[in-house]
Every structure is written in C-alpha cells, then in structure tokens.
Amino acid sequence: MSLKIYNTLTKKIEKFIPINDDQVNLYTCGPTVYDYAHIGNFRTFLFEDLLKRWLIHLGYNVRHIMNITDVDDKTIQKSIQQKKTLFFITEKYTKAFLRDLSWLNILPADHFPKATDYIDQMIKLIKDLIKKDMAYIDQGGSVYFRIKSSPKYGLLANLKIENHQKSKRVLNDEYSKESINDFALWKAYKEEDGDIYWDSPWGKGRPGWHIECSAMSMAELGCHFDLHCGGVDNIFPHHENEIAQSEGATGKKFVNYWMHSEFLLVDGGKMSKSIGNIFKIKELKELNFSAESIRYQLLSAHYRTKVNFSKLKKNENDRVVQRFLSFYNLLKINNADLIENTILPDEYLKFKEKMNNDLDAPQALGVFFVWMKKTTNEIINKKISKEKMGSAWSFLIVFNSVFGFIDTEEALIPDEISSILKMRDKARDEKNWLYADILRGELLTLGWIVEDTEQGQRVSKKK
C-alpha cells in the first residue's frame, strides 16, 4: 500500500518511488514578490502543503525548497512605479508572504532561496547552454534558448510548437530571435531597468524567469530530484522551459515527478482584477475567515479539479471546522489524550488508502466523517473501551497533522471574561436563569461564545 500520484510528465498515475530510499527532494514554485499573494496562489501552496504533510506522515524525510522570485518584469515595474528600490519592494512582499503562510498553518519550506542570490549559478547554466549550442546571444546582448535543440520540447505541456497560435504579443516580441518560440535566458539591460542589472559575459542585464527556477532547484536539490510542483498555469511555458534548459545543460534527467494543482475559481469564474474578485488573506481575515475554514474550503476538493471559492461558503466551512473542534474537545474531556495507545483504528487504513491514491482528500474526508460520527456516538453512549478511546485520539492527531483543520491552541481567557464566567456559574447554581442569560449575551458581545456542557461552561473565541 504505497503512494501513487498523477505525473503530469507521463499523464499517468504512477507509483511514487524516491531516488534515495526515504529521502524526498521537493521543489515548489514560490511567489513573485511584487504584490500580496491571493487566494488562488494559496490553493496551490495548500495543495503542496497537503502533499508534504502526507509524505511526512508516510515516514519520508522531505527536503522542501520554495523559491522567491525577487527579480522579473513585474517586480522591476513595481519598484519603478513606486519609486522604491527593488529590494524594498521584494522584502516587503516576501515578509507578507511568509506571514500569510504561517497564518494559514502551511509548513514552511526548509529553505526559501531568492533568485537574486543565485545569479552566478544562472550565468553558469547559460554558459553551458551556449557552449552546447543550445542557446545563442543576439545583437542586443540577450541570450535565448534554442528550442530546436531540445527534441523533447512540448512533452510536459503536450504541445506541438507548430500548432502555436501566433498572438499579437508574440509577434511584437519577435525582434531578434531565431524562432518566435525561443525564450529568454538572459535579458539585456534596458533604460527602464534603472539600476537593476547584473554583469555577465554578455554584458549587463538580468536573468529570465525560467532559468531562475532551474538554477535554484539544482543548486539546492541536485541536478536530478524527485518532485516539482506548481499550479497548472506553470506547466507551460515555465516548467516546460525548465526541463528544456536543465536537461540541456546537464544532459541528465531533471525531475521524476511533476504535480500540478488546478485553478481556483471565485464564484464560478476566473479571478480577475476587473471583476474585483481577487481575495488577499488580509481581506479574508477582515471577513472573519479562519485559517482552518480556508484550509477546509480549499483542501476538501481534489487538487486536480477546479475548486470554487466563495464567501457564501464561509458558513458551511465554519460549521465543518466547528464539528472537528467539537470532536477534539469531546475526546479531550474524556482524557483520550492521556491514554497511551498508538494503535490506529481500522478506518485509518481506509483513510490511508484514499490518501495514497493521488491524495484523494474528498474520499479520505468521507471516511473520516463516518468514523467520527460513529466514535462520537460510542462516546456519548459510553460504549467505548479505553483502548478505543486512545486509538481515536491517535487517529485524530494523525488526521490533523495532515489537514490542519483543528486549531488546537486554546485561546487565552482574559481576566475580565473569566470573572464574568464565575458570576454566570454562580447564577446557574442559584437557577437565576435570567441573569445567566444576560451574562451569556454580554460575553457574546465581547466576542466569546459560552456553551453549557455536562462538565460546566466552555468558552471559545468567536470566529
């Protein structure tokens, strides 16, 4: 019972076999730091998080690299527009990105290399490609990759370059390239670039976007590694070009498995600035979305299907997250966490089977819901053994280590709140229901929800 994943390269579900035993080298395309990342970006990052967490659960030792693209057309444009240095812009958005990742409870990569720290490696790669006649320098000092030299080009994206529709933009771009499909490895300095340039054997300029990922991934993970992920829109041209230039330069196979997550739609359509449906984490926080609720909404669909994000789904997701939390609390109240039992219930095997089948989260969640309901029933009817209680706790912990739907951190109760709680407890003892209800209302206006349980009052922060 081992992990099987869909490989974009072969278009098949394949058994996942790492190059070195239990070591998995994973590269995920990170953000271009010219703006705050939006919910669509995070769909991909959450998929990658689920993959990584599942690999870790299976016992693999995962080395995860996520790059930060801190020099490209958009970052330069932004820095000129805002009259700030490139570094100022990229630092600002890199920090914001890392904050958002952490808020969403996405496990951080082992390393977040910045493109500008790997210019030497990029130059080296380009030199190798020129030496092999797979790249050429134009009159302006830009370097292009010669697609003709890469017979396998188009395999990942399943595209034949002869069939490319010639868009206006492409034609405009076609200044001194041998073929319109050739892509830039190095872009010669232009007036507009201001003081943003690096020296190279071909004159000053800056790297193309695709070579950045090749250089960083190979520098950190070696020329040949296990997994490379991104969104479907990265398949072409970005990943196709990475393969061409990396395999061209090294003469070796670049990556064994390519995985891509589908797009996120917002209210049934593509995100676009004109519709104004691009949500940033900050805005979602203002709408009172919790990280768990967003995780559930984006992870409960299979990663290779389009998932629809909607503000209207918030209540539904909050409710599900609440159910998980209630179950967690139910087990805790029954001291399940104190029972030493690491044996997992039979349902775990089914859950594992589903997850091992190309991360079939919807099916796995179905299994979990059925088990959760059954177990809750057994607990409230007191028909559960101590061993089973312990194994329920173990399964729940495994589940949460993979999905992260339960916020296990107890909110700190301020003194003001706990003194109201004490008063309410007294009122309830005296059966002064009117006063108890007034206090409950008061707590709610202060943002705390109080519930009366068999074990007494339980407060939680309103989300």
Partner RNA sequence: GGCGUCGUACCCAAGUGGUUUAAGGGACCAGUUUGCAAAACUGUCAUUCGCCGGUUCGAAUCCGGCCGACGCCUCCA
The footprint of RNA on residues 298-327 (CB under 7 A) is 300-302, 305-308, 313, 315-316, 319-320, 322-323, 326
Q: Say how far apart CA 446 and CA 443 lie, in whole Å.
A: 5
Q: Say how far apart CA 344 and CA 351 lie, in whole Å.
A: 11
Beta strands 205-207; 183-188: pairing state: antiparallel
- Is residue 108 near RNA by the rule CB under 7 A? no
* The amino acid at 17: I
What's the min distance (Å) between Cβ of 21 and RNA? 27
C-beta of 61 vs 82, nearer to RNA: 82
Site string for RNA, 389-428 (x = CB under 7 A): ---------------------------------------x
| Residue from the set 345, 357, 459, 461 that interacts with RNA by CB under 7 A | 357
C-beta of 19 vs 287, nearer to RNA: 287
- Is residue 60 near RNA by the rule CB under 7 A? no
What's the min distance (Å) between Cβ of 20 and RNA? 27
C-beta of 201 vs 456, nearer to RNA: 456
| Residue from the set 141, 203, 237, 345 that interacts with RNA by CB under 7 A | 237
- Is residue 81 near RNA by the rule CB under 7 A? no
Structure tokens at 9: 């390269």
| Residue from the set 372, 396, 421, 443 that interacts with RNA by CB under 7 A | 372
C-beta of 341 vs 357, nearer to RNA: 357
- Is residue 356 near RNA by the rule CB under 7 A? no
CA distances from 153 to 149, 209, 238, 254 (A): 9, 18, 12, 13
Helix (H/G/I), strand (E/B), else coil: 63: strand
Beta strands 264-266; 456-461: pairing state: unpaired
Residue 257 dihedral angles phi and psi, to the nearest 5°: -125, 130
- Is residue 9 near RNA by the rule CB under 7 A? no
Rounded to 10°, the helix 386-403/346-356 angle is 20
- Is residue 29 near RNA by the rule CB under 7 A? yes
What's the min distance (Å) between Cβ of 432 and RNA? 9
140 closest CA partner among 172, 186, 195, 171? 186
Residue 357 DSSP label: B
What's the min distance (Å) between Cβ of 74 and RNA? 5
Structure tokens at 312: 């209207």
- Is residue 231 near RNA by the rule CB under 7 A? yes
CA distances from 98 to 45, 67, 91, 430 (A): 12, 12, 11, 51
